[in-house]
């Protein structure tokens, strides 16, 4: 592989104008496709096939023709002025006018008055009207949404407090442009400090932005075909930008190093792509496999996010291997520091990193490896403790800022009708085999009404064929309350007896039941997926490093990183530690998709640093260094760049903590702390400590396994022959002063 990439790097350097034009053409083509593509619509996709709530949801769409189960809805909450009631003549007239006006829309299926549906609180302070639509929220026309907004404004102008929940006017999350801008700004500063050259700092930023531009434009262009959402694009841009900068950073850094050794520009570009590029390929491959592996979980939304992010990472790898050496060919000396360009000896010595902070840190750790290892593992273990209390759910309007009308509507309904009113359960009764479908549905409704924890039950509504009915059951507790989860389990536990007596079957669905089922399914899948990811890490690193113990150490470090990051997420977003500092207005269960998505992404990022750092150690070992010297050499050459890459990733991910979208905020925080833990505690501390303890054993591989494994030459042994005076195997075993 190293030889192929070496030739690729030299070719890109030589044919630089062609390479640049090809990437420019790809960017233009993807941009044209994005502009020309229709808006994405993923409303018809089942969220998680196979769970009971989804099957019941699909049954409603099948048995109630014309009633789109994904149809938009708006729950309009009216709160009377202080000391008054909504039943007062003036206030009631405002509400009646509102219902009459909103019911005229061509896309409106129904607009139900609170006075006709008994939707007035006991104290008379609050009421709500439900407006349902024939189409999904994404298909609502501007005239439909404007009509609803105008009606709300008119009611407010008449002195009634009006808030809107539901999907029809749901607040859309910010596109995240400011987050990327913040990340790029911090990355520019870090790169400038690291390289001391504007060109060297700007090149990784430029290529990463081009790569993200191609990826995002492609996602938008294919959005309508595959139902790719805004959240999908945000996560892809987050990862694409982070790894794009990092991958280019490693290639540019190696190019500068080779130039400092006197290589001509084209040869330096070839060697940089052949060595650092090999690490980029395997690091990118681990991220891609981990993200693509999310498709086995069985959640279409998670699959889309994983595949789109994997595509963005793949583009970042291709950019680093082709566009970066091409741009280096255009300005071969610009990325070098001024001192190196002028040939000053001091600058050349500094460029070669003969003795720097990385090597000094490695020697410090290797002087007392057992103590350092014990303290670091204990610290990460303590950070991981909260992960044992992980609760998964799907935060709704209650997690939104109080500045949104959805959050205010949620709070008003909870105050007026009880916490459970925001999460009603929908019961679907299949009475096809019953002699009296209406009586069967009523029997089921009566039985569920008597269940502890149910406040009220609506009358069953039969479909046109008279063989299926639906009704709502309102819990006494909120959607994300543990008691609500137990209530759903209790109702389902009663099913066998009810089905025998009523002669009909039923299933529980609705947004609350759906969230509960999804959370349970994903929580059950989390540990198996973690096991698969760790096994994958062992196999990949076994091939890359041709060692048994190095992959085991890497997998153990990854496990510590992911558990510590999950523990930090639980502490902040579930327990509320420091939540206000991050703008988290409501704590509660962690978004169901987030932990399993975090596990996949952190795996890729952890392997990034493992490959970049340890590959250089392996390269030094293969070329003749003793084990301790190889560790110091790896840190001398790559520690500074790894630190810069980690700081850049932390900056990029931290920028997304300011998002109003709960999923993006949580993932941004989780990834930021995961990189912090993995880069600085695991790779920069645990790795040298463990390798110091193991010595030559770290690179041990049974002969039979050595014959079976493919040789990928990630260390570039085929490109750089070891010096003639390289130490013998016996000399390697001699102790080295640290």
Summarize pLDDT for 256-278 with one digit per residue, the tens. 988 888 889 999 999 999 988 98
Distance, CA of 235 to CA of 653 (rounded, Å): 10
Q: Are 63 and 465 in contact (CB under 8 A)?
A: yes
For residue 722, is pLDDT > 50? no
pLDDT band at 484 (very low <50, low <70, confident <90, very high): very high
Q: Say which range, 390-394, 501-505, 727-731, has the weakest mean pLDDT.
A: 727-731
For residue 563, is pLDDT > 90? yes
pLDDT band at 589 (very low <50, low <70, confident <90, very high): confident
For residue 362, is pLDDT > 90? yes
Using CA atoms, how far residue 711 sits from 492, 545, 620, in Å, is: 55, 10, 17
Tell me, what's the pLDDT at 531?
Answer: 84
Distance, CA of 624 to CA of 367 (rounded, Å): 22
Crossing angle of helices 687-694 and 627-655, rounded to 10°: 160
pLDDT band at 724 (very low <50, low <70, confident <90, very high): very low
Residues in contact with 711: Cβ distance below 8 Å, sequence separation at least 6, in sequence order: 546
Q: Say which range, 61-65, 386-390, 430-434, 697-701, has the weakest mean pLDDT.
A: 61-65
For residue 521, is pLDDT > 80? yes
Q: Tens of pLDDT along 698-710?
A: 999 999 998 888 8
Run of H or E including 110? strand 108-112
Calculate what percentage of the chain has a pLDDT beyond 70. Answer: 90
Tell me whether strands 590-591 and 454-457 are parallel, antiparallel or unpaired.
unpaired
Write the DSSP assignment of 118-183 as a string of letters.
Answer: T-B-TTSSEEEEEEEEEEEGGG--HHHHHHHHHHHHHHHHTT-EEEEEESTTPPPPP--HHHHHHH
**CA triple 379-384-385, angle to 5 deg:** 105
Residues in contact with 166: Cβ distance below 8 Å, sequence separation at least 6, in sequence order: 72, 73, 74, 75, 131, 406
For residue 731, is pLDDT > 50? no
Tell me, what's the pLDDT at 730?
Answer: 43
Run of H or E including 426? strand 425-430
Count of residues making up the chain: 738
Using CA atoms, how far residue 397 sits from 165, 167, 352, 413, 414, in Å, is: 8, 11, 55, 12, 12
pLDDT band at 543 (very low <50, low <70, confident <90, very high): confident
Tell me, what's the pLDDT at 178?
Answer: 61
- Measured between alpha carbons, how far apart are the two ends of the chain, in Å? 34
Tell me whether strands 425-430 and 468-475 are parallel, antiparallel or unpaired.
antiparallel
Phi first, then psi, for residue 52 (nearest 5°) are -60, -45
For residue 369, is pLDDT > 90? yes
Q: Say which range, 42-51, 103-112, 378-387, 632-641, has the weakest mean pLDDT.
A: 42-51
The residue with tokens 């990784």 is 204
Neighbours of 524 (CB within 10 A): 10
Calculate what percentage of the chain has a pLDDT beyond 90. Answer: 37
Tell me, what's the pLDDT at 716?
Answer: 66
Distance, CA of 89 to CA of 121 (rounded, Å): 17
Tell me, what's the pLDDT at 237?
Answer: 84
Neighbours of 527 (CB within 10 A): 10
Tell me, what's the pLDDT at 734?
Answer: 44
Mean per-residue pLDDT of the chain: 85
pLDDT band at 727 (very low <50, low <70, confident <90, very high): very low
Q: Tokens for 569?
A: 């997420």
For residue 566, is pLDDT > 90? yes
Tell me whether strands 590-591 and 392-393 are parallel, antiparallel or unpaired.
parallel
Higher pLDDT among residues 579 and 154, named by residue: 154
For residue 660, is pLDDT > 80? no
Higher pLDDT among residues 298 and 701, named by residue: 701
Neighbours of 548 (CB within 10 A): 17
Distance, CA of 104 to CA of 99 (rounded, Å): 9
SS3 472: strand
Higher pLDDT among residues 662 and 578, named by residue: 578
For residue 738, is pLDDT > 90? no
Higher pLDDT among residues 591 and 507, named by residue: 507
Higher pLDDT among residues 711 and 54, named by residue: 54
Residue 330 burial (C-beta neighbours within 10 Å; 0-12, 13-18, 19+): exposed
Q: Are 313 and 240 in contact (CB under 8 A)?
A: yes
**Closest listed residue to residue 407, CA positions, set 662, 156, 163, 145:** 163
Mean pLDDT (whole number) for 158-176: 77
Write the DSSP assignment of 221-267 as a string of letters.
Answer: HTHHHHT--HHHHHHHHHHHHHHHHHHHHHHHHHHHHHHHTT--HHH
Q: Tens of pLDDT along 48-106?
A: 777 899 899 888 888 887 655 567 888 899 999 887 899 998 999 999 999 999 988 88
For residue 43, is pLDDT > 60? no
Q: Say which range, 180-184, 194-198, 251-255, has the weakest mean pLDDT.
A: 180-184
Distance, CA of 12 to CA of 424 (rounded, Å): 60
Crossing angle of helices 549-569 and 593-622, rounded to 10°: 150
Using CA atoms, how far residue 210 sits from 13, 348, 661, in Å, is: 18, 31, 26
For residue 377, is pLDDT > 80? yes
Outline where DSSP puts E strands in 570-644: 590-591
Phi first, then psi, for residue 109 (nearest 5°) are -85, -40
Higher pLDDT among residues 569 and 615, named by residue: 569
């Amino acid at each position: 592989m190293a030889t192929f990439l070496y030739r690729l790097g030299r070719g890109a350097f030589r044919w630089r104008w062609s390479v640049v034009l090809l990437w420019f053409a790809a960017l233009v083509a993807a941009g044209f496709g994005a502009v020309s593509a229709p808006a994405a619509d993923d409303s018809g996709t089942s969220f998680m096939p196979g769970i009971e709530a989804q099957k019941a949801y699909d049954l409603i769409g099948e048995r109630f023709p014309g009633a789109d189960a994904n149809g938009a809805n708006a729950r309009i909450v009216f709160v009377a002025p202080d000391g008054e009631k909504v039943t007062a003549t003036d206030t009631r007239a405002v509400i009646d006018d509102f219902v009459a006006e909103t019911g005229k829309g061509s896309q409106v299926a129904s607009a139900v008055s609170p006075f006709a549906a008994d939707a007035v609180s006991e104290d008379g302070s609050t009421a709500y009207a439900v407006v349902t639509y024939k189409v999904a929220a994404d298909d609502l026309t501007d005239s439909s949404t404007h009509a609803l907004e105008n009606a709300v404004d008119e009611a407010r102008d008449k002195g009634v407090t009006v808030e809107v929940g539901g999907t029809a006017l749901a607040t859309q999350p910010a596109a995240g442009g400011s987050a990327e801008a913040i990340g790029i700004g911090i990355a520019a500063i870090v790169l400038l400090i690291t390289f001391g050259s504007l060109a060297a700092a700007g090149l990784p930023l430029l290529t990463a932005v081009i790569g993200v531009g191609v990826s995002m434009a492609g996602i938008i262009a294919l959005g309508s075909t595959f139902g790719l959402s805004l959240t999908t694009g945000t996560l892809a841009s987050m990862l694409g930008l982070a790894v794009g900068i990092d991958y280019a950073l490693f290639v540019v850094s190696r190019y500068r190093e080779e130039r400092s050794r006197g290589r001509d520009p084209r040869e330096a570009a070839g060697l940089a792509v052949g060595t650092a590029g090999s690490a980029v390929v395997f690091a990118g491959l681990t991220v891609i496999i981990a993200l693509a592996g999310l498709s086995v979980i069985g959640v279409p939304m998670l699959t889309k996010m994983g595949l789109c992010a994997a595509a963005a990472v793949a583009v970042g790898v291709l950019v680093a291997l082709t566009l970066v050496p091409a741009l280096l060919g255009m300005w071969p000396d610009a990325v070098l520091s001024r001192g190196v360009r002028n040939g000053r000896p001091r600058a050349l010595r500094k460029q070669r990193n003969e003795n720097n902070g990385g090597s000094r840190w490695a020697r410090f750790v290797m002087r007392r490896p057992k103590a350092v290892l014990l303290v670091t593992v204990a610290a990460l273990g303590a950070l991981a403790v909260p992960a044992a209390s992980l609760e998964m759910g799907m935060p709704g309007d209650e997690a939104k800022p109080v500045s949104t009308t959805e959050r205010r509507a949620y709070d008003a309904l909870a105050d007026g009708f009880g916490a459970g009113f925001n999460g009603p359960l929908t019961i679907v009764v299949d009475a096809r085999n019953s002699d009296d479908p209406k009586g069967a549905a009523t029997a089921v409704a009566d039985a569920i009404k008597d269940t502890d924890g149910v406040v009220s039950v609506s009358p069953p509504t039969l479909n046109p064929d008279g063989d299926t009915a639906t009704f709502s059951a309102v819990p006494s507790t909120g959607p994300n309350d543990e008691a609500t989860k137990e209530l759903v389990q209790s109702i389902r536990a009663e099913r066998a007896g009810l089905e025998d007596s009523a002669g009909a079957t039923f299933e529980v669905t609705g947004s609350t039941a759906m969230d509960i089922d999804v959370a349970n399914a994903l929580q059950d899948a989390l540990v198996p997926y973690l096991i698969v990811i760790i096994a994958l890490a062992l196999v990949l690193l076994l091939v890359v490093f041709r060692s048994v113990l190095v992959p085991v150490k890497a997998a153990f470090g990854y496990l510590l990183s992911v558990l510590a990051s999950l523990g930090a997420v639980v502490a902040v977003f579930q327990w509320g530690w420091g939540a206000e500092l991050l703008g988290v207005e409501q704590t509660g269960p962690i978004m169901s998709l987030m932990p399993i998505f975090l596990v996949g992404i952190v795996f890729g990022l952890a392997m990034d640093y493992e490959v970049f750092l340890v590959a250089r150690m392996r390269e030094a070992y293969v070329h003749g260094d003793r084990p301790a010297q190889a560790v110091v050499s790896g840190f001398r050459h790559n520690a500074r760049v790894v630190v810069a890459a980690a700081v850049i990733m932390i900056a990029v991910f931290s920028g997304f903590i300011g998002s109003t979208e709960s999923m993006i905020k949580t993932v941004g925080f989780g990834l930021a702390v995961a990189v912090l833990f993995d880069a600085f505690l695991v790779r920069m501390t645990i790795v040298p400590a463990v390798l110091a303890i193991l010595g030559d054993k770290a690179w041990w591989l049974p002969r039979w396994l050595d014959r079976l494994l493919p040789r990928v030459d990630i260390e570039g042994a085929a490109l750089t022959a070891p010096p003639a005076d390289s130490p013998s195997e016996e000399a390697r075993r001699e102790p080295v002063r640290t």
